[in-house]
Structure 1
Amino acid sequence: MLPTSHRPKNVALITFPAIGDSLLLMTVAHNLRRHGVAVTVFGPHVHTLRNWFPGIPIEPALAAGSAGERLAGFDLVIQLHDDRPFVDLASLHPRAIVLEHLCRQRSPKSMAQRLAEFSRDELGLPQAGKYNGIVPPAGLGYRRHATRIAIHPTASTLDKCWLPQRFTALGLKLRRAGFDPQFIVSPAERPQWEHVQDLGLGLPDLGALDNVAAWMFESGWFIGNDSGIGHLASSLHIPTLSLFKRLGSAQTWRPDWGPGRVVIGSAYIPAGRLKERIWKYTLTPGRAARAFARLRKNLPIPAAFAPPEGM
């Protein structure tokens, strides 16, 4: 742990253009700010959500050509991965920390928990916690649409994605059970999912990420792949059901702020290579629906969005 006298006074956090990674690194930003350290965050997604993180200066992504000059005024610079957004962060700043080692740890702890412990043990922030500082703007109603289920059927890579037709089958099953399933995808992905509207399933056109966040905050539930939208739902304390291909990735990257469960698609597949190839075929809509029923039955759902006391 850094002694208080050696604690940095002005820190830059550089987020990669991935929603989940950005929300996770905001845990470090919030812990620094809470302990009196000036912090500035750079990144496209958090900049879009800057009104959701009051009190923290958030700027757009750094341009590669001017990054070194822009970072010179900070006494510490942190990014999550060793190859993005900057491949050699140490060449841009003499005091740089890359947290790739936390991502590669063999541990049952989530990344949110690992970043909280890094903040406490390595940065010397004794009251550090998992909360990332997100605060919904005034006027929104937490889980106002209690039967609305946000279904996110895409992810950053295809290997993380459950079969589209099974997401559709799950949506129909949930609609028959009295819920309001709504498929949320990016504008570029909409053409591949417009067919769900013909089946009576929702496909809202939400636009920018801050609109997605507002819509998500008023939804009752979230079901989706291993993706940044799952982290967004969890950080807003929307109960989440996340579908993962393997246990190891679920332990590390599961959403871990609000109530949630994970389903491991490869749980009953013995061989490692087979897990990667066929998990999405062995995971059935019925199994996902049963996991959602357990989420509703067994986990306490908060009555309101309430950040940790004192945070």
Structure 2
Amino acid sequence: MKLSTDTSIAVVLPSPIGDSLIGLVLVNNLIRNGYRPVVFGWVAEQLADWFPHMAVGQPDAWRGAFDTVIELRPTSYASTLSRSGKTLCVATLPEYGGSKHMVDRIVEIATKVLGLRDVTRANGLVVPAGVMQGRFADRVVIHPTGSHPEKMWGRKKFLALSRVLTRRQLQPSFLVAPDEFGVWGDIAEHGCEVNALPRLNEVATWIAESSWFIGNDSGLGHLASCIGVPTLSLFMRRGLARSWRPGWGPGAIVLPPSVLPFGGLKERLWQRLLSVRRVMAAFQALHCTHARTAHRYAPAGFGDANATQAARIGMVPGAQSRRL
């Protein structure tokens, strides 16, 4: 499918954060090759300042406006953007399947299906000038939730991990969605800091100004990775990690020990088998590898850092924060 440079193109992103960030690899490659796609999706809207070369549209304003509409997965409105009513659904292409990393699948589609020549694995994210990368040299963002409960490590284990990090003179900072705050806010009683930010650009800033990220197999791990924050991702099995591990910045994965022969058992029991000690060992290895290059700013004292964070949280409408 060869695109003409004067073809009007829309790219419709899926709802999940990680899928959208991977889909933006295709958008970035279209832009690199002279096209001017208009991008649709809530992730693109809320991260518009982080993708300065990207044009973002609202579906109602662009009905029937495009010669070519590309959607990563089937959506309810992509066809309404097309003059013909037809779309190219990336998820239905043979190149989208297989065992390659998802980013590499998108790169292959850009090259083989769309015929683009100047192709990269990058999605075009640029940290805004006002964001101080690595500002809090000891802050470790912990993301304990996700869209799929079966992919989430245990609550008690995340709390135990935060205590180990604190003993190592690091500053664990739990980050959850606003609708999860009611469930997680009480961990402040255990001496933990927990924050919920209302918009994705604010979440991105919080992650970018931290120095480390630990989380489940979920979209925020992909966000941390493309920002460049060293990322440790917890996976239930190796096959998922092979395709879906965060694939841009420095990072590592940690898996439960391979003691069970069947995939179904591994998926049911992985949370029990993956120990705090094993996760901490993987984090220490990541820390040792990237500690010298990860920090751009001098460490702040814990008291100063907490005061600054509280002030910033207070200035964000809808933000919620609790700490002991």
TM-score after normalising by structure 1? 0.87
Alpha carbons of structure 1 residues 304 and 37: separation in structure 2 relative to 1, 3 Å: farther
Query: Contact 1:117 / 1:128 at 8 angstroms: preserved in 2?
Result: no
Please say if 1:72 is aligned against 2:64. yes
Query: Contact 1:103 / 1:252 at 8 angstroms: preserved in 2?
Result: no
**1:299 Cα deviation (Å)?**
5.0
Instruction: Supply the distance in 2 between the matched residues of 1:57 and 1:24 (Cα, whole angstroms).
Output: 17
Query: Contact 2:232 / 2:251 at 8 angstroms: preserved in 1?
Result: yes
Summarize the alignment of residues 158-177 of structure 1 with structure 2, pairs less than 5 Å apart.
158-177=149-168
Summarize the alignment of residues 1-311 of structure 1 with structure 2, pairs less than 5 Å apart.
2=2, 6=4, 9-60=7-58, 62=59, 70-82=62-74, 84-85=75-76, 93=84, 95-100=86-91, 101=93, 105-107=97-99, 109-265=100-256, 267-299=258-290, 302=293
Instruction: Supply the distance in 2 between the matched residues of 1:300 and 1:89 (Cα, whole angstroms).
Output: 49
Instruction: Supply the distance in 2 between the matched residues of 1:36 and 1:289 (Cα, whole angstroms).
Output: 45
Q: Secondary structure at the match of 1:146?
A: coil
Amino acid at match of 1:222: F
Amino acid at match of 2:186: H
Amino acid at match of 2:285: R
Instruction: Supply the distance in 1 between the matched residues of 2:103 and 2:295 (Cα, whole angstroms).
Output: 21
- 1:1-22: CA deviations, max 9, x gaps? 73x7x56732111112211111
Q: State percent identity of aligned pairs.
A: 37
Instruction: Supply the distance in 2 between the matched residues of 1:92 and 1:9 (Cα, whole angstroms).
Output: 12
Query: Contact 2:225 / 2:231 at 8 angstroms: preserved in 1?
Result: yes
**1:142 Cα deviation (Å)?**
1.2
Instruction: Supply the distance in 2 between the matched residues of 1:43 and 1:221 (Cα, whole angstroms).
Output: 28
Q: Secondary structure at the match of 2:150?
A: helix
**1:85 Cα deviation (Å)?**
4.9
Gapped regions of structure 1 (runs ≥ 5): 306-311
Query: Contact 1:259 / 1:300 at 8 angstroms: preserved in 2?
Result: no
Instruction: Supply the distance in 1 between the matched residues of 2:293 and 2:278 (Cα, whole angstroms).
Output: 25
Instruction: Supply the distance in 2 between the matched residues of 1:265 and 1:95 (Cα, whole angstroms).
Output: 44
Query: Contact 1:77 / 1:93 at 8 angstroms: preserved in 2?
Result: no
The residue number in structure 2 matching 1:308 is none
The residue number in structure 2 matching 1:309 is none
Gapped regions of structure 2 (runs ≥ 5): 297-324
Query: Contact 1:120 / 1:128 at 8 angstroms: preserved in 2?
Result: yes
Note the aligned Cα RMSD (angstroms): 2.5
